[in-house]
Structure 1
Amino acid sequence: MQTEDLQRKAFVALLVAVSAAFLWVIFPMFGAVLWGVTFAILFTPLHKRLQASLRLKPTWAAVLTTLLVLLLVVLPAVLVSGMVVQEASTLVEKLRSGEIDLGAYYRQLMRALPAWATRLLEGAGLGDLSSVQERLKQSAAGGSQPIAKRLWLVGQGTLDFAVNFFVMVYLLFFLLRDGPRLMQRIRHATPLDPAVQARLAKNFSAVVRSTVKGNILVALLQGALGGVALLVLGIPGAVLWAVVMAFLSLLPAVGAAMVWGPIAIYLLSMGQVAQGVGLIAFGTLVIGLVDNLLRPILVGKETRMPDWVVLISTIGGMSLFGINGFVIGPVIAALFIAVWDLTTDDSSATPEPSQKPTP
């Protein structure tokens, strides 16, 4: 008995050590693995539908699904990234040449503000553009260090980006093809009750699908609407600001307004009252309505998480893991809620000990 117990403990220690070593080895490819798994979860229903409707073998269905992911997701992202880089370089060139004078705009904005707002900004040390630029520079320097470290781990240059991209696509193909068999092996090896495994797997898949699908659709729609509005108003770099709005829209309730709000204030300070009021109305009634109506339907309906939990977990996840955190944070929060729900259900389902009848 002592020998068997010692062997069991040694095997558990070996299992933990090997698993930790494997995670350590694949950690530099963390982003590629994360998005490969995420895309596999998102597009598994499409893979099954293609396999059933076209009567394809799993391998060819996985090939077709992977090509559709590249065509519908990756290619548009690459094209938009190119447009953003071009607009950003044009905007920087205009700032350097003096065609866009931020100092003059800031002074005009300060003159347009009421006296109490001006005194408040001056008291906070924001009375002139140079102090604002210095504070932004310090904040950017402090906040960019952990992001730079993570980017250094994920990919260093074009070659590493290509390697990570190849790993993501390669992993996506095999997860689509061999996903059911892999899940069976994981469930067989996991020492949990089958009902608990099924519930956790369902919650995990639901939260990944709803978080990525819901947040990305809401972000894309808000960014597109905001970009069209800025394009109509003639704001320089409309595509760039649309992408910034899309990224900020990943944060529930506070996202896109962080872009169109200051632009509306700028328009009002420049004397363009109709444009500024129109942008505020459009941002509040249209862009904000997208967030208030679609996000609970696409995200909250499946995850059943309150908005404040989604907001906190998203911000916390992005502060720890960068852009990948908008998936990791809500997933961890959803699994946390699911595990505690299971604990509560198990506790409530446990019958109380019967009391002996009194004589």
Structure 2
Amino acid sequence: MRNSGIYFRSFVTLLIIVSVAFGWLLLPYYSALFWGCVFAISFTPLHRKLLAKIPAHPNTAALGTLLLCLVAVIFPLIILTSALIREGATIYRRIESGQLNLGLYYERIVNALPESLHRWLEELGIADVFSIQEKLSAGALEGSKFLASQAVNIGQNTAGFLISMAIMLYLLFFLLRDGSSLARTINLVIPLSDEHKQMLIQKFITVVRATVKGNIVVAATQGALGGFIFWVLGIDGALLWGVIMAFLSLLPAVGAAIIWAPVAVYFLVTGAYWDGAILILFGVLVIGLVDNILRPLLVGKDTKMPDYVVLISTLGGLATFGLNGFVIGPLLAALFMSVWSLFPAAINAQKM
């Protein structure tokens, strides 16, 4: 029995070592692997429908689902990213040449304010036009410079990008084809009760699908609507602002309004009352209602976490994992809450 305990501990130690080493080996391509798993989970229901029609051809069903994923998601994202980078580069050149100066817009807003409000801004220390101008111009220059630099980075790292894309698509094909058997294997090695395993796995799948299917669709819709109204009103960089609004709409309590609301205020205080009124009405009645209408339909009320948890976990995920964090953050938060909800039952089972 003593030797058996030593062997088991040695085996667990070896298992941890080789698992960490394997994870370290895959680390350079973790984004490709992560998104391969995310897309596989998201498109599994569609794959099952295709497989039900051609049960004797699993490879064809997996390939068909992969092609649909490419057409519906991956290719549009690549095209949008390319257009966004080009527009960022254009805005960078305009800011650098002085054609576009955000500080001047701020100056117009301050000069158009009533005297009482102007004095209040001075007391708060934010009426120093020249100081704010410099900060706004510097911030806009840095942001557009970052987008412009991405065009150079993508050009220089084309080989790495193509390798990551190939790995993701290759993994996605096999996860779609062999996902069911792989899930059963993983289910067998998890050292938890069947009930707890089922709950955690279901929570994992639900959060991933809700984030991708629900939040991304809502974000894309709000971003597209925001970019459209900016284009209609003749605002420079409508595509860029639309993408920014799409990202911000992933965050509850702030959303796309953090972009369109200041622009509407600028229109109103500078005398463009019709433009300001149109932007406010469109923002409140169209962009704002998208979240209330689409999110419950695509996500489902029973899968939503509290808004403050989503906000904090999304911000933390973005800060820690970059763009991948808007999925990883809420996923970790959901698993955290699920595991702690199982803790009392685990304690009671231990006592018995």
Q: Report the TM-score, using the length of structure 1 for normalisation.
A: 0.87
Please tell me the root mean square deviation across aligned C-alpha atoms, in Å. 3.0
Partner of 1:25: 25
Amino acid at match of 1:191: P
Cα distance 1:19–1:120, how it changes in 2: closer, same or farther (>3 A)?
farther
- Deviations, residues 29-71 of structure 1 (Å, cap 9, x unaligned): 1111110000000001111110112345222211111111111
CA contact (8 A) 1:206 1:302 kept: no
CA contact (8 A) 1:118 1:127 kept: no
Partner of 2:108: 108
Amino acid at match of 1:327: V
Partner of 1:258: 258
Q: 1:322 offset after TM fit, Å?
A: 1.1
Query: Is 1:199 matched with 2:199?
Result: yes
- Unpaired runs of at least 5, structure 2: none
CA contact (8 A) 1:252 1:291 kept: no
Partner of 1:178: 178
Cα distance 1:339–1:250, how it changes in 2: closer, same or farther (>3 A)?
same
Cα distance 1:44–1:164, how it changes in 2: closer, same or farther (>3 A)?
same
Q: Structure 2 matches for 1:92-131, cutoff 5 A?
A: 92-122=92-122, 123-124=124-125, 127-131=128-132
Amino acid at match of 1:170: Y
Q: 1:118 offset after TM fit, Å?
A: 3.4
Partner of 2:187: 187
Cα distance 1:8–1:101, how it changes in 2: closer, same or farther (>3 A)?
closer
Counterpart CA distance in 1 for 2:74 and 2:56 is 24
Cα distance 1:159–1:214, how it changes in 2: closer, same or farther (>3 A)?
same
Counterpart CA distance in 2 for 1:17 and 1:110 is 61
- Deviations, residues 164-210 of structure 1 (Å, cap 9, x unaligned): 11111111111111111111111111211122111111111011101
Counterpart CA distance in 2 for 1:50 and 1:128 is 61
Cα distance 1:104–1:137, how it changes in 2: closer, same or farther (>3 A)?
closer
Cα distance 1:160–1:302, how it changes in 2: closer, same or farther (>3 A)?
farther
Query: Is 1:10 matched with 2:10?
Result: yes
CA contact (8 A) 1:226 1:245 kept: yes
Q: Structure 2 matches for 1:1-359, cutoff 5 A?
A: 1-122=1-122, 123-124=124-125, 127-134=128-135, 137=138, 157-299=157-299, 301-345=301-345
CA contact (8 A) 1:126 1:132 kept: no
Q: 1:210 aligns to what SS in structure 2?
A: helix
Percent identity, aligned pairs only, is: 47
Q: Report the TM-score, using the length of structure 2 for normalisation.
A: 0.88
Counterpart CA distance in 2 for 1:134 and 1:47 is 51
Counterpart CA distance in 2 for 1:191 and 1:99 is 63
- Deviations, residues 82-101 of structure 1 (Å, cap 9, x unaligned): 22223223333333444334
- Deviations, residues 249-282 of structure 1 (Å, cap 9, x unaligned): 1112312012111211222233101111221121
Q: 1:112 offset after TM fit, Å?
A: 1.3
Counterpart CA distance in 1 for 2:180 and 2:351 is 40
Counterpart CA distance in 1 for 2:16 and 2:242 is 46
Cα distance 1:9–1:352, how it changes in 2: closer, same or farther (>3 A)?
closer
CA contact (8 A) 1:206 1:303 kept: yes
User: How many residue pairs align between the two structures?
Assistant: 345
CA contact (8 A) 1:223 1:244 kept: yes
Amino acid at match of 2:12: V
Counterpart CA distance in 2 for 1:4 and 1:351 is 23
Amino acid at match of 1:69: C
